[in-house]
């Protein structure tokens, strides 16, 4: 059974995960508008991944006897100066989500909620992967600079990403 505090904080994280999906969906429209379909496809997969993360927490709250309370999702940014600017924003966002997950672990430990602490370890690992992937793309975009042919090649590479839903259980 979840404590009221843990339930409240997990509900906030569900909202944060769904906001993440909105942010990345907004980036889909940005990349579409500047003719980078591979970047757009990458962000579509990222959008699906964030929805899956939100639903994973949603299911955990329900399975632990809590009540999911959905809240309004903040409007995301929709303009960036460049692909690099968009991916810098994505990296900053992933770092923010990592801090939120870490805070949830701290709360679970303080509340002596070992099941939620265990559940959140999957997200800890996931955030390492998220920051690494987005950071690697940032690094590539920095190397590319203003080279349009290199950007075209990276766009082709980005378009190969396919969303794979996370396993239902850890």
**pLDDT on residue 10:** 98
> Which residue from 74, 98, 58 is spatially nearest to 23, judged by alpha carbons?
74
The residues of the chain scoring below 70 in pLDDT are: 168-170
**pLDDT on residue 170:** 47
**pLDDT on residue 169:** 53
Q: What does the domain layout of the chain look like in residue ranges?
A: 4-158
Residues 6 or more apart whose CB falls under 8 angstroms from that of 147 comprise: none
Residues 6 or more apart whose CB falls under 8 angstroms from that of 163 comprise: 44, 45, 48, 49
The reported pTM is: 0.94
The annotated binding site is made up of 17, 50, 53, 94, 127
Residue pair 50/21 in contact (Cβ under 8 Å)? The answer is yes
CATH of 4-158, one of 2.40.160.20, 1.20.1260.10, 1.20.1290.10, 3.40.50.360: 1.20.1260.10
As a whole number of Å, the CA-based R_g of the chain is: 17
Distances (CA, A) of 31 to 84, 87, 95, 152: 11, 11, 22, 12
The annotated binding site for Fe cation is made up of 17, 50, 53, 94, 127
């Amino acid at each position: 059974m979840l404590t009221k505090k843990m339930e409240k904080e997990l509900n906030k994280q569900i909202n944060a995960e769904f906001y993440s999906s909105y942010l990345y969906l907004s980036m889909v429209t940005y990349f579409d508008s500047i003719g980078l379909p591979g970047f757009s496809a990458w962000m579509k997969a990222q959008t699906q991944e964030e929805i899956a993360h939100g639903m994973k927490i949603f299911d955990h709250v329900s399975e632990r006897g809590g009540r999911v309370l959905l809240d309004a999702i903040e409007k995301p940014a929709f303009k960036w100066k460049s692909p690099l600017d968009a991916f810098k924003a994505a990296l900053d966002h992933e770092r923010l989500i990592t801090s939120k997950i870490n805070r949830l672990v701290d709360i679970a430990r303080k509340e002596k909620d070992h099941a939620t602490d265990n559940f959140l370890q999957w997200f800890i690992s996931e955030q390492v992967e998220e920051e690494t992937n987005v950071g690697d793309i940032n690094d590539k975009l920095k190397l590319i600079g203003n080279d349009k042919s290199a950007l075209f090649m990276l766009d082709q590479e980005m378009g190969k990403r396919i969303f794979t839903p996370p396993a239902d259980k850890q």
